[in-house]
Structure 1
Amino acid sequence: MIAMLKTVNEKETKGLSTRLLSGSLSRLSLLSLKILVQQLYDRIKDSIASLEHIQYLKKKQQNYKLNEKTIDVPMTIFCHQNDRKRKVGRGSLRKSVWPVPRLEAIFLPEFSNNSRITEKDFLILNCIGKGTFGKIYRVCLKFDRNFLFAMKKQLKSEILTRNAIQQVKDEALVHKSLSDGVFIAKCYASWQSRTHLFTVLQYATGYGDLFMLWRDYGPFAEDTLRIYAAEIAFALDYIHRNNIAYRDLKMENIVLDLDGHILIIDFGFAKKLTNGERTRTVCGTLQYMAPEIAKGKFYGREVDWWSYGVLLHVLNTNSYPFPNRDVTSHIELRYDSYNTPCCEPMLVDLFNKLLSVNIERRIHTFAQVKSHPFFESVNWDDVALKKLVPFAHIEELQRCPSCNSLYDKSVSDFNTTDEEENWAAFEEEYEFNSDDYFHDELQ
């Protein structure tokens, strides 16, 4: 590429030089000669700048693999692009003046109004998801399409209408604080335009999410379940050690990389709980909701281990542990009639202890999970280093796309969609006070 650029620039420069010489010999006016000299100077300057930029990128290529599997990208690689002089689009806020307009200020500092990168640095490839306030796109850098990202684009007017300003700010803040986690999808940057909020996230280029894998290959055998259970537990422990309750663990919020390793996404319900703080906000996905959340009791980070138990139960048995498939509200949830599944005794014991309605008898810490006999064969150092390969077991199974189809009720008791307790459901059914909902009540 550099050689091609040199050839092109040499031809262009040579042409200008020839014209300059010819102009001199033809006794052109002094003004004409001055213009030609300036053009020659500008071309040389642009060529040097282009060569320096390409050399910079090639140097980066030596440190990072430029293929779809490499998603852990330093944002400076395209921040460098913005160091070059260019026109700022109308949607950019990098020329904001003081005082900052309210529509910008209310989203600061989580969403910068003076970002070195903007949406104009990316090329949208396709839409990969739709959220409450906007869509999520698969994107790449315009000047280097080997790097793939997920970009969340949220409409400010919709956020304001739903009174969810603090919710989206908290999500961005929490996600950024957790981005160094081994099994956490990285949050690279967030900024705002006059009309939208933008967040650039790590894009997982694997199978999709855990739900898709389970749908095509489930139920998971114990060896496969053990690997995924270990990675999810490791991720939850990292989240909890950062004093955060995740509150929405489910298959759809776990995506897979090329080797089948997990990445936790979507921190919309995550809550910072420090110094023993507890909350009693009702939120999450109904079928995964812990009893203390549904009953409006104060709770802490331990509720995530209940959801963890439900998740493992579904992956292994193709059914929820409790008869809550048709509920549409947390007040309808039932936590009785639990039937012990027919599986290996150690796994039965793990389910029973994770899904005990009595929290005093329930497993609710990572230390308790690690010490359970079901994980006796797991080397947790290998888990952290991603040495366990879940796809090694998955590939031995026969793909069966219809086995866990949500529309095949004969083999699955799942609804077409999981009912979720969020601000929209409350607004529609309960006419709740949005301030009370979004500003968790702490004791």
Structure 2
Amino acid sequence: MGAGCCKEEEIDFDAEVELSHFHLLRSVGKGAFGKVRVVQHKQTKTLYALKYINKAKCIKMRAVENIIQERRLLEEIEYNLVFHLERQGSLKEEVVKFYVAEVSLGLHYLHSKKIVHRDLKPDNVLLDEKGHAHLTDFNIAVHFNERKPLTSVAGSMAYMAPEILMKKGYFDSVDWWSLGVVMYELLFSKRPFRGKTNPQLTQAILQDPLIFPDNVSVSEECLDCIRRFCERDITKRLGCGPNGIEDIKRHPWFVGIEWDKLNTKLADPPFVPDSKRANFDATHELEELLLEDNPLKAKKRANPNQDLSELSREMRMMEEKFLVYDFTKMRRRSYYHNNNNENG
């Protein structure tokens, strides 16, 4: 008799995608006003990364336009991101080579769509379930116009290219510098340019020589690749010349890389994440359990009949522009004509 009351409500999987279509699994990441957790589609059993944000915090931090922009950019790209690139000390040179090559292809793909990432760092490189590296976190990514340089200072300072800090305008060249910094950090477990304060760090990025540790053994070709990525002269920086990624592919360090297989994900990754263990910072999940009161539970508006015109400008923008998008069902469309100006 009592079983009927516990029967799960039937789900219409052909309807607009919604939270009820997924099983909520572990929390894997946290940002300034949002979190990421793994979810599994109840019908297909496919794993996805679900990013959810606190609208009030987003508005308070004046990040509404960035959030809308990130959503638009994600319509144009397609990756299956599951696991963080977890590092335990420095990585072997051959492992780093594989990841740098895959990230290079990812950056080339973004740049071909006139998108500059602007926040490349180890935290924003994820491995899919097969071990392939991908870029994530497009919160400050932006479309660029080759006739109008970007000017805002955006990104994580330790990975910022000199041209960003000099505020003289920049394009996609900044991503290749950041890749060099990431490459250095993956190999040596520290960043090439450091400072205790922002002014000191800025000074280091703009002027300090690139020095390699004495106690780590890597090939000269590897060191040269880092030097070429972290070249302050953009005309000499690897990836920034007229040949673009072809110069990267031809660099001696990448001899032996099968770029066609890499591009089609047919190359064998050096590491395959174990789906049964935590490939992320477990403190995010612990915080979720201890401090959050069902953060993904749908909350009704205090006045469900409230007209959008009565909401704040920022909240109205989120209600109007953060529309449902299901990449498994809909054709992708470019927002380039709507988003060719820098939004921060």
TM over 0.5: yes
- Equivalent residues in 2 for 1:70-81, closer than 5 Å: 79-80=13-14
Give the aligned length: 261
Matched residue, 1:379? 258
Q: Is the 8 A contact 2:104 2:245 kept in 1?
A: yes
* Separation in structure 1 between the aligned mates of residue 123 and residue 257 of structure 2, nearest angstrom: 25
Give the gaps of 5 or more residues in structure 1: 1-49, 54-77, 83-115, 180-184, 186-201, 396-438
* Separation in structure 1 between the aligned mates of residue 112 and residue 24 of structure 2, nearest angstrom: 36
Matched residue, 1:130? 30
Gap change, CA 1:140 and 1:330, over 3 Å in 2:
farther
Gap change, CA 1:311 and 1:372, over 3 Å in 2:
same
Matched residue, 2:220? 345
Q: What per-residue deviation string (whole Å, max 9, x for no partner) do you get for residues 213-257 of structure 1?
A: x2x2x4222221221111111111001001000101111111112
**Secondary structure class of the residue paired with 1:334:** helix
Q: What per-residue deviation string (whole Å, max 9, x for no partner) do you get for residues 383-439 of structure 1?
A: 1122322326999xxxxxxxxxxxxxxxxxxxxxxxxxxxxxxxxxxxxxxxxxxx7
**Secondary structure class of the residue paired with 1:146:** coil
Q: What per-residue deviation string (whole Å, max 9, x for no partner) do you get for residues 160-195 of structure 1?
A: 22222211110000111122xxxxx3xxxxxxxxxx
Gap change, CA 1:393 and 1:172, over 3 Å in 2:
closer
Letter in 1 for 2:145: T
Q: Is the 8 A contact 2:130 2:272 kept in 1?
A: no
Q: Is the 8 A contact 2:158 2:201 kept in 1?
A: no
Matched residue, 1:262? 133
Q: Is the 8 A contact 1:341 1:348 kept in 2?
A: no
Matched residue, 1:287? 158
Matched residue, 1:15? none
- Equivalent residues in 2 for 1:321-400, closer than 5 Å: 321-324=192-195, 326-328=196-198, 332-335=202-205, 336-341=208-213, 343-363=218-238, 364=240, 365-391=244-270
Matched residue, 1:5? none
Gap change, CA 1:171 and 1:392, over 3 Å in 2:
closer
1:172 corresponds to 2:71: yes
Letter in 2 for 1:175: L
Q: What per-residue deviation string (whole Å, max 9, x for no partner) do you get for residues 29-83 of structure 1?
A: xxxxxxxxxxxxxxxxxxxxx9xx9xxxxxxxxxxxxxxxxxxxxxxxx741x3x
Matched residue, 1:318? 189
Q: Is the 8 A contact 1:286 1:330 kept in 2?
A: no
* Separation in structure 2 between the aligned mates of residue 294 and residue 381 of structure 1, nearest angstrom: 36
* Separation in structure 1 between the aligned mates of residue 126 and residue 111 of structure 2, nearest angstrom: 20
- Equivalent residues in 2 for 1:31-70, closer than 5 Å: none
* Separation in structure 2 between the aligned mates of residue 440 and residue 232 of structure 1, nearest angstrom: 24
* Separation in structure 2 between the aligned mates of residue 154 and residue 323 of structure 1, nearest angstrom: 32
* Separation in structure 1 between the aligned mates of residue 253 and residue 199 of structure 2, nearest angstrom: 34
Gap change, CA 1:151 and 1:381, over 3 Å in 2:
same
- Equivalent residues in 2 for 1:228-247, closer than 5 Å: 228-247=99-118
Pick from 241, 248, 253 the counterpart of residue 124 of structure 2: 253
Letter in 1 for 2:69: D
* Separation in structure 1 between the aligned mates of residue 35 and residue 343 of structure 2, nearest angstrom: 30
Q: Is the 8 A contact 1:138 1:203 kept in 2?
A: no
* Separation in structure 1 between the aligned mates of residue 34 and residue 71 of structure 2, nearest angstrom: 15
1:162 corresponds to 2:34: no
Gap change, CA 1:367 and 1:354, over 3 Å in 2:
same
Q: Is the 8 A contact 2:142 2:343 kept in 1?
A: no
The normalised TM-score by structure 2 is 0.68
Deviation, 1:373, is 1.0
Q: Is the 8 A contact 2:129 2:272 kept in 1?
A: no
Gap change, CA 1:378 and 1:145, over 3 Å in 2:
closer
Structure ID, larger Rg = 1
Pick from 216, 219, 229 the counterpart of residue 90 of structure 2: 219
Q: Is the 8 A contact 2:81 2:126 kept in 1?
A: no
Q: What per-residue deviation string (whole Å, max 9, x for no partner) do you get for residues 289-320 of structure 1?
A: 10111121200001100001111111112221
Q: Is the 8 A contact 1:223 1:393 kept in 2?
A: no
**Secondary structure class of the residue paired with 1:139:** strand
Q: What per-residue deviation string (whole Å, max 9, x for no partner) do you get for residues 132-187 of structure 1?
A: 2232222223x4372322222222222222222211110000111122xxxxx3xx
Gap change, CA 1:441 and 1:280, over 3 Å in 2:
farther
The normalised TM-score by structure 1 is 0.54
Give RMSD over aligned pairs. 2.8
Q: What per-residue deviation string (whole Å, max 9, x for no partner) do you get for residues 6-47 of structure 1?
A: xxxxxxxxxxxxxxxxxxxxxxxxxxxxxxxxxxxxxxxxxx
Q: Is the 8 A contact 1:168 1:268 kept in 2?
A: yes
Matched residue, 1:195? none
* Separation in structure 1 between the aligned mates of residue 237 and residue 63 of structure 2, nearest angstrom: 34
Q: Is the 8 A contact 2:173 2:234 kept in 1?
A: no
* Separation in structure 2 between the aligned mates of residue 158 and residue 172 of structure 1, nearest angstrom: 17
Q: What per-residue deviation string (whole Å, max 9, x for no partner) do you get for residues 338-384 of structure 1?
A: 21455311112111111122223222232221121111221210111
